[in-house]
Amino acid sequence: MPEVLSTSEVAHTVGHGHGHGPSRRTGVEIAEAVVLAVVAVATAWSGYQAARWDGHQSELYGVSNRERALANRASTLGGQQLLYDTSTFSFWLQAKTSGNLAAQRQFRRRFRPEFRPAYRAWLATEPFTNPRAPAGPTRMREYHNAQLALAAQHEETAQRAFEHGTEARDNGERYLRNTVLLATVLFLTALSQRFDVLGVRLGLLVVSGVLLVIAIVVMARYPTA
């Protein structure tokens, strides 16, 4: 007679033979849920940082443009003042050469306040008898043109803001590329859920997990806005 199994033995045999299948599937589903949750948070953070850096870039480029405009304005005014200084000095020098004292006094009164210290320092070099004297007051280190100095400051600020804006753009692009990588993780995780074959599903989940770890590690090295 064939051997007859009891009810308890049958239940034990079925449970022992098929217990790992549902548990493994449940574990994969839990892992997928965790990956999706982490991807959602990481994608939101990466997109937020990309937007912040993009706004920072626009702000810095705006500062750079404004500073360059101010630099051009100051440079134009400084150039006009430099031309005025050289012109009035040239007229004074002509009057000096011709011995016209009244004209000399008249042009001296027209010297700009910034020009006077350089003019006095130039006279102290005895330029009419010293062949090594500078060609004119504007060549003296005492000569100062506030507008040209201001133009240089604005230009330096503009260049610095432009460089920082470029860095902000690069940082934003890094976060944007990371968002694309996270979107790939999201796609693979969603794709894995379409398969009933546990091996295929688990393989896609592993690839998604590896890409997710790479994306998070890379993103952690990026500066935040």
Q: What tens digit of pLDDT does each residue of 50-74 get?
A: 999 999 999 999 999 999 999 999 9
Residue 132 has a pLDDT of 93
Average model confidence (pLDDT) for the chain?
Answer: 89
- Tell me which of 4 and 175 has the higher pLDDT: 175
What is the C-alpha separation between 165 and 45, in angstroms, rounded?
21
Average pLDDT over residues 144-150: 96
Whole-prediction pTM: 0.72
Q: How far apart are the first and last CA of the chain?
A: 81
145: which residues sit within 8 A by CB, 6+ positions away?
78, 81, 82, 85, 114
Percentage of residues in the chain having pLDDT higher than 70:
90
Is the pLDDT at 3 greater than 70? The verdict is no
**For residue 63, which of 148, 149, 166 has the smallest C-alpha distance?**
166
From residue 80, alpha-carbon distances to 77, 87, 111, 185 in Å are 5, 10, 14, 62
Average pLDDT over residues 110-118: 96
- Tell me which of 48 and 8 has the higher pLDDT: 48
Is the pLDDT at 32 greater than 90? The verdict is no
Is the pLDDT at 20 greater than 70? The verdict is no
- Assign 192 a pLDDT band (cuts: 50, 70, 90): confident
- Name which of 1-10, 26-35, 82-91, 201-210 the model is least confident about: 1-10
Average pLDDT over residues 172-196: 90
Residue 165 has a pLDDT of 96
What is the C-alpha separation between 115 and 85, in angstroms, rounded?
7
